[in-house]
């Protein structure tokens, strides 16, 4: 029975002492190769947040206000900007800005953006665009009907990083921004732009527990506003499409599944686990052990 359950042809079911030593030597080779690959991976693309090799994500740190409103406290660390250097390449009809994204450094990021290829109307001979979302204090309260629940973020896009060389968004460009609110709420939250005199609502979609996304057509300063109970947004709710979604790769803001998808996942996943468990039990009873 033993011979039947552990066939001699099995590659390494019971390695000899020499085999174990060889296996360990191979293991050291794998370890060295993995270390080199790890160094190369981090050097080529440094992660924007500490990775988990699986577990649960980090909880958000307290919101970092530039100037905390009444009732809020100032965090020890300063709010950070989100930055990206966007490469510009020559195209058949002029300079074309490449796709890019940026995140601020908080856990989770208080601001993040994602731009599609061709999002900026880059002047000829531009080689890159420095895109920055800088945290500032809100210049003015929202007024009746709402409360500002984030810093103001000023957006700037400079050709080759030169002061004054502002680059506008191209017509119809896909420039998506995510802002994190100070805390979760059941009330309506809308992203607003500040035009220097007034707040203007933008079509907003919730993409995380306290993270909101919008697609912008200008680079005006932005902030989140929580509307008072009973106050309706003046902009239409967006259709549930992929537009205005979270920048890819941000664990805190990956788009959520709908309720039906959740039920489906739990049901299908549970069935698969049960079937796998049944198969494992059957294997044991039919001589796997």
Task: Report 257-286 residues binding other proteins (CB under 8 A).
Answer: 257, 259, 261-277, 279-281, 283, 286
**Separation between Cα atoms, residue 28 and residue 30, nearest integer Å:** 5
13 binds other proteins (CB under 8 A): yes
Task: Report 45-64 residues binding other proteins (CB under 8 A).
Answer: 45-59, 61-62, 64
Binding segment for other proteins (CB under 8 A), chosen from 35-43, 157-165, 185-193, 213-221, is 35-43
Residue written as token pair 């805390």: 183
**Separation between Cα atoms, residue 253 and residue 84, nearest integer Å:** 19
Minimum gap (Å) between residue 186 Cβ and other proteins: 13
| Beta strands, E only, 128-219 | 128-136, 146-148, 152-159, 175-180, 189-194, 199-202, 204-206, 211-216
- By residue count, the chain amounts to 289
39 binds other proteins (CB under 8 A): yes
| Joined tokens for residue 285 | 């009873």
* Residues facing residue 216 across a β-bridge: 175
84 binds other proteins (CB under 8 A): no
Task: Report 160-199 residues binding other proteins (CB under 8 A).
Answer: none
Task: Report 197-226 residues binding other proteins (CB under 8 A).
Answer: 208-209
Minimum gap (Å) between residue 209 Cβ and other proteins: 6
Binding segment for other proteins (CB under 8 A), chosen from 75-83, 86-94, 133-141, 185-193, is 75-83
67 binds other proteins (CB under 8 A): no
Residue written as token pair 């390494």: 12
17 binds other proteins (CB under 8 A): no
Residue 182 near residue 151, CB atoms below 8 Å: no
């Amino acid at each position: 029975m033993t011979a039947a359950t552990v066939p001699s042809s099995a590659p390494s079911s019971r390695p000899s002492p020499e085999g174990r030593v060889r296996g360990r030597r191979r293991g050291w080779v794998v370890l060295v190769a993995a270390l080199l690959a790890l160094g190369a991976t981090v050097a080529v693309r440094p992660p924007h947040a500490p990775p988990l090799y699986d577990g649960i994500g980090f909880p958000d740190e307290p919101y970092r206000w530039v100037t905390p409103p009444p009732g809020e406290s100032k965090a020890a660390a300063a709010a950070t900007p989100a930055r990206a250097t966007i490469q510009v390449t020559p195209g058949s009809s002029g300079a074309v800005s490449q796709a890019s994204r940026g995140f601020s450094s908080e856990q989770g990021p208080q601001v993040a953006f994602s731009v599609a290829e061709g999002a900026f109307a880059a002047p000829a001979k531009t080689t890159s665009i420095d895109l920055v979302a800088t945290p500032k204090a809100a210049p003015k309260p929202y007024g009746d009907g709402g409360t500002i629940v984030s810093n103001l973020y000023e957006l700037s896009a400079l050709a080759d990083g030169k002061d004054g060389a502002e680059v506008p968004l191209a017509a119809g460009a896909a420039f998506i921004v995510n802002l994190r609110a100070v805390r979760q709420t059941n009330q309506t939250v809308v992203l607003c732009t500040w035009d220097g005199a007034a707040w203007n609502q933008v079509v907003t979609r919730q993409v995380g527990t306290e993270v909101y996304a919008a697609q912008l057509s200008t680079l005006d300063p932005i902030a989140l506003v929580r509307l008072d109970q009973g106050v309706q947004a003046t902009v239409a709710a967006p259709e549930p499409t992929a537009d205005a979604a979270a920048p890819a790769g941000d664990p805190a803001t990956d788009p959520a599944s709908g309720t039906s998808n959740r039920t489906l996942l739990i049901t299908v996943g549970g069935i698969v686990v049960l079937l796998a468990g049944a198969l494992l039990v059957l294997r044991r009873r039919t001589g796997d052990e």
